[in-house]
Amino acid sequence: MTQAQQAPQGSIAAIAAQAAPQPEKTKGKKTKGKEVKQAKKKGGTIAASIIAGLRAGRTPQKVLEQVQKKHKDCKTTIACVHWYSSRIKRGLIPE
């Protein structure tokens, strides 16, 4: 018998696991070799822009204009801005 046959199976599996390269773990969708873009901090979201504008005392129309300038592809409407405004007034969105 050779040494490999005499060694317990657990030790061979442990050695094989150490020698085998581990694939990188990524969150979200599989990228198939494409570069993964990291999400920006929460301060850059459309919601954060709307909330900041409303808390600064701007009108919903001004807030909507600013959001559409900052986020070119957004489909935010005035109704969305009013929704956030009502939640702020009720105290449902924390400071």
- Specify the pLDDT at position 28: 58
Supply the mean pLDDT for the chain: 78
Average pLDDT over residues 70-95: 93
* Rounded percentage of the chain residues whose pLDDT exceeds 90: 49
Q: Is 2 left (phi over 0), alpha (psi -120 to 50) or beta?
A: beta
- Specify the pLDDT at position 40: 47
Contact criterion met (CB below 8 Å) for 53 and 44 = no
The domains of the chain are located at: 42-95
Q: Which pTM does this prediction carry?
A: 0.54
